Every structure is written in structure tokens, then in C-alpha cells.
Amino acid sequence: MGLSKYKYLVTIGCSQTYGQGLRKKEETWSYKLAKELGLEEINLSCNGAGWYYIKTILFSFINNNKDILHECFFILQKSTLERRINYEELSIVETDYFENYNINLVPPVAHAALGYKNWDKFYSCYHHEIMDKMKYSTKQNSIMSGQWIDIENVQTNLTYFPEHRHYPNSRHNWKIGINHDIFPNKLNDKFEELMLHWATEMYQVHLFLKSLDINHIMVDGYSPFLSYKLDFKNYYTKDEEYEWVNEFWSTSIENEDDPDDVLLYDFKNIKSGWIFDSIDIKNKIDDVVIWSLYQFKPHESEWNVDGGHAGSLGMDLIKDVIKKNLEEKGWF
């Protein structure tokens, strides 16, 4: 596909693509890549953006710019694991209501109406005071949502929902207990539901763009989705950085006797991996999390401004990796 086919490079992502911490937009990987490709940059990214911002602004652009769509090449940067999801609609609460169909978790709003068929089977699994507040006067399921469960309390219980070992600072609200020492029941199943959610979201957007013959590629920003297999490529300037990245995302347990050395969940073997695999290889970069390209570079520098955002030199790393993939996949 020739370079002359495109006029615009449209990029959508979070602060990773917007360029948080940089002095000017000309330092972003988006601007640099567009310039090297001879295209006009349209950067629709925003700090703190989650997938729903990315999807919504993408659809708005498509709907309002139909006359230039086939002159555009789109790059979508998936953000972090937890950002901007509606937890009330995610299957994270245990129930035996649909267990005959291998469905053991439902969204909080559904659990409010369905509850349990057998309360005693579940009550013994929990040790939080919240469960006493959730218990209804009967042990049968109830359609009276307000009487079965307190949705606000379920949201509070989400502080125990899983996250990988990165993001240790307090501004990220998904932790394993207040002291990081609580492992609730069905922890891995809840994570599977989350990855299923993101897999289907990304796959649906891919199919939508493909149906409109809109050329695009997706890349992971801070967490492995497309790159869930952790089969990273050595894009690094130092071999030791490549080793550190693989160690950082490793699912291995070095010391089984150490209670702190535990596998929170296993990216490599998620059930929804087949959905990520269904996204055409030409339309995804599945061997890198772009944050990892500069995460082990010096902080407060041109490589890495604050630990979580690339400086100008870090943006060069991102630009080079994405450009290399675009060329290898035959887009340019």
C-alpha cells in the first residue's frame, strides 16, 4: 500500500499519546511519526483517557469526517487495565443462578435481582462485614433489587479486585486488600471476566473499522492486552532492559515458600486469548507494551519524565517501534 494513499495520521490514546509532561506537541511520538511519514497529524488523545473515550471519539470522528476516511490511517493506543469501566455492569459478583451454564459471576446490578439460590454455599466463602449487609431475610433469590444488595457496598468491595504488580502507588485503586494481603474467592475468574470484556471491546472496534475499510493498527500502552502472551520483542537499546521487561511481566514464581511472591493472575493463559488472536495480525502490535520501552530509563529525564510518561527521547523510541511495525506489516 503506497504512501500516497494517506494524507492524515489519526492517533487516539491516553497521556501516553497525548504527551503528558512534554514541553510542546512536536515532541510526541504521534507528531514525529506523522512528520516522517509525510502526513498531517490529527491527535485526538487526552490525558487520563480510557477505552470508552478512545472508542467514542473515534466513532465521532468517523461519523463527522466520512469524506476523508480513506485518506486516514488510524493508530489506537489501549490504555491501562482498569480505567473508566462501569463496574456495575462487569461480571464480578459470585452467584449460582446460572451455574448450569458455567456462568458463576454476574454484574452487581444483576446480582441485586438474582442473588443466590443457596446462600449458605457462598456465605462461608467471605469474611468481610459487607456480606452481612448483603444478606437478605430469605435464602432464596429475590427480584427486589433494593432489598437484596447494596450496590454502593459492592463498589467498596472492588478495592479487593486484582491488578498486576505494577502501579504500586496509592492513586490506583485496585489492590489486593488495604495491606495488599487479601485474596478473595474467584480472584482469577474475575480477572478473566475483565480481560474478556476488553478482548471483545477491542475486537468489535477492529471489525467495525475493517467493515468500513478503514485502515488501522492497535497497540498496548500500559498493560498487555494484544500482547497478553508476553512474547515481547527486543526493541531495547540495552539487552539488560529487555531482560528487566521480561522479568517485570513474568508469570513465574521464583520462591513458592515466600507469601509475597505470588502470581496474581496469568496473562499467558487467559481464556479470552483467542479473541485477541482473532484481531488480524496486520492490525495490531502484539509484542510490546510501549510504556516498557522507556520504563527502565532514568526518570525525570528526556527519556522518562516521571516514571509513567515518555520524555522527548522516550517518544523517539515509541515512534521508531511503531514505524518499524507499520513498515513490516506493509502499511507504508
pLDDT tens-digit map of 224-278: 999 999 999 999 989 999 999 998 888 777 667 766 566 666 788 899 999 999 9
**13 and 140 in a common domain:** no
3-state secondary structure of 81: coil
User: What pLDDT, on the 0 to 100 scale, is given for residue 110?
Assistant: 84
**61 and 121 in a common domain:** no
**215 and 98 in a common domain:** no
Confidence of residue 3 (pLDDT cuts 50, 70, 90): very low
- The Cα–Cα gap between 291 and 275 comes to 23
Query: Exposed (0-12), middle (13-18) or buried (19+): which is 69, by Cβ within 10 Å?
Result: middle
Last residue of a domain, one of 126, 156, 188: 188
Confidence of residue 330 (pLDDT cuts 50, 70, 90): very high
Count: domains in the chain: 2
- The Cα–Cα gap between 63 and 66 comes to 6
**99 and 78 in a common domain:** no
Alpha-carbon distances of 219 from 17, 49, 157, 187, 304, rounded to whole Å: 11, 15, 31, 27, 19
Last residue of a domain, one of 145, 161, 188: 188
Residue 211 maps to which CATH number?
A: 3.40.50.1110
Query: What stretches of the chain show up as alpha helix (H) in DSSP?
Result: 15-18, 29-37, 51-64, 108-114, 119-123, 130-134, 145-148, 151-157, 187-211, 239-248, 273-278, 312-328
- Domain of 277 in residue numbering reads as 3-84+194-328
pLDDT in tens, 202-238: 999 999 999 999 999 999 999 899 999 999 999 998 9
**203 and 319 in a common domain:** yes
**209 and 245 in a common domain:** yes
**105 and 75 in a common domain:** no
- Residue 67, beta-bridge partner list: none
pLDDT in tens, 112-169: 778 788 777 776 555 444 445 444 433 334 443 333 444 444 444 444 455 544 444 4
**14 and 123 in a common domain:** no
User: What pLDDT, on the 0 to 100 scale, is given for residue 179?
Assistant: 61
